[in-house]
Chains A and B, each alone.
Chain A
Amino acid sequence: MSPLAVVEKDRRGPSAYDVEAVRRDFPILSRMVHGKPLVYLDNAATTQKPQCVIDAVSRYYREENSNIHRGVHYLSEVATEAYEAARIKVQRFLNAPLFCEIIYVRGATEAINLVVSSYGRTHVGAGDEVIISAIEHHSNIVPWQMLCEEKGARLRVIPVNDRGELMLEEYEKLFNPRTKFVSLVHVSNALGTVNPVKEMIDTAHRHGAPVLVDGAQAAPHLPVDVQELDCDFYVFSGHKVYGPTGVGALYGKASLLKDMPPYMGGGDMIRSVSFEKTTYNDLPHRFEAGTPNIAGGIGLGAAIDYVTALGPERIAAHEHDLLVYGTERLSEIPGLRLIGTAREKAGVLSFTLEGIHPHDIGTILDREGIAVRTGHHCAMPVMERFGVPATARASLGLYNTRQEIDALVAGLHRVIRVFS
């Protein structure tokens, strides 16, 4: 970068980056859909991948493919090193104290299931209680429900107000001596609400309950520091932070992980096996049975490098600017109702249009090249709470622009014209 460009960049403040240059890093963003330039506003479902991630995955298969933690041969060594280096990138990304506290999983869903199966089944018994919130994704409802059913335990739910914010005074009242665990979403995928998780973790700890934070929607949009939060577990999916699908991470405090029974049995999670007795491997491998998604892990490392270089604070600021702009522009549309108007919000614009079903909105926008999600967003209790069968949702990523919000608004006016 030329000195002049540096000055230019600084003048725009720490929040700004050259979004057009960033967009060029993502090959898919230059493609056409139905003859129109792609306007990708479905980032809460999955994000697009920068060239460096695509290259990392491709390079692994071209030059390094080999199984890890096993061979004495050169390629196995290279692959193991790359895969483990990516683990350290995840550790730094979350500011976890120890690399062995990072367990590779398929995604946030598997991470939650791991904690439910291993920690939950050991510590939650008949008559015990687990607290979740009213705005969880199904992945942070169903595993706990299954556990409660199995154990005869009870699921308690923190209610949400009309803006989509959790009611903290009600939260505090849910605790009692039977409360064994709290599992909370950091950022709601359906509403965009950023929950005050630090404060909520403090409350849970005062009552002696450990806390899992579902960071699937937070990790791509906010800086995350597990030590500052003091959460006991934190989970996220690689594909929502510009990495490959099929890989994600679970952070757990070593003090808890070390006493947790294995989740799956198999290769790599053992130290020695005989028919009489198997001894398990150390952390983190004890929770990583079988050959993992090696290319995925390496790709996730590359994605974290990319996001870190751009700066989580800058990404958050860029997306916040778009959220404010998008909220203003959408509010001008007659008959549009925003679902989720929390004061602390990440880049999610969930809405309905009076008299028009979200599915019809989605189909018409699609023909304009605009990708949004419509439906219940795997959060049916949220839809129920706000009295809508479904919403349309535009969710923002680090490469979105104000022009794309304008395209969305123009598309919505077109939808209204069709149905007027």
Chain B
Amino acid sequence: MSGDLRELYQEVILDHSKRPRNFGALPQSNRRAEGYNPLCGDRITVYMLVEDGVVAAVAFEGAGCAICTASASMMTQALVGKTEAEVEGLFRGFHALVTEETALNADTSKLGKLSVFAGVREFPIRVKCATLPWHTMRAALENQAAPVTTE
């Protein structure tokens, strides 16, 4: 496998895509939104339980490519216990990580495990796969009815 493919499909990403964490509906959720990229066929639903402005639980379900699924899975782990403001910070940091050449700024330094997605930057058409769960999550926070798309 070439270097940038190895960067894209890192072990952690493959592991999350094959065994997504927090996969399934979240019956007690009070926020929810759908994301759909019809061109590639990625479709996910993000469920959140937000209590006193803090994310108490997150889950997702749907069908997508490895990048989309792993991104959703790792996102659900990263968000628990975060305030809405912190979630917004992570969203911006993640977005910068996968889209900007010089993403080594203060925001992305807080991303922790999520920084494995830096390899997506070399695959511009896959950026929409990695960001779909995050945009859907943001829409869920607002309980947005219309499905989100990143295409």
* B9: A residues at CB distance < 8 A: 360, 364, 418
* CB <8 Å contact, B40 and A374: yes
* CB <8 Å contact, B41 and A375: yes
* B112: A residues at CB distance < 8 A: none
In angstroms, Cα B125 to Cα A367, docked, is 13
Decide if A250 is an interface residue (CB 8 Å cutoff). Answer: no
Q: How many Å from the CB of A12 to the closest CB on chain B?
A: 38
Mark each residue of chain B from 110 to 144: 1 if its CB lies under 8 Å from any CB of chain A, else 0.
00000000000001001001000000000000000
* A367: B residues at CB distance < 8 A: 1-2, 4-5
* B12: A residues at CB distance < 8 A: none
Q: A357-B41, A375-B39, A376-B39 are in contact. Are A34 and B64 (CB under 8 A)?
A: no
* CB <8 Å contact, B4 and A358: no
* B67: A residues at CB distance < 8 A: 359-360
In angstroms, Cα B66 to Cα A399, docked, is 33
* CB <8 Å contact, B64 and A380: no
Number of A-B contacts (CB under 8 A): 61
Decide if B27 is an interface residue (CB 8 Å cutoff). Answer: no
- Give the A interface residue count (CB, 8 A): 22
Closest to A356 in B: B66
* A58: B residues at CB distance < 8 A: none
Mark each residue of chain B from 89 to 115: 1 if its CB lies under 8 Å from any CB of chain A, else 0.
000000000000000000000000000
In angstroms, Cα B67 to Cα A375, docked, is 15
Decide if B14 is an interface residue (CB 8 Å cutoff). Answer: yes
Chain B residues 1-36 with CB under 8 Å of chain A are 1-2, 4-5, 8-9, 14, 18
Decide if A97 is an interface residue (CB 8 Å cutoff). Answer: no
* B64: A residues at CB distance < 8 A: 357
Closest to A388 in B: B41
* A34: B residues at CB distance < 8 A: 2
Q: A34-B2, A376-B38, A419-B66 are in contact. Are A359 and B14 (CB under 8 A)?
A: no
Listed residue (A355, A380, A389) with the most chain B CB atoms within 10 angstroms of its CB: A389
Closest to A389 in B: B41
* B4: A residues at CB distance < 8 A: 367
Decide if A414 is an interface residue (CB 8 Å cutoff). Answer: yes
* A363: B residues at CB distance < 8 A: 5, 8, 123, 126
* CB <8 Å contact, A418 and B1: yes
In angstroms, Cα B126 to Cα A375, docked, is 13
In angstroms, Cα B123 to Cα A34, docked, is 12
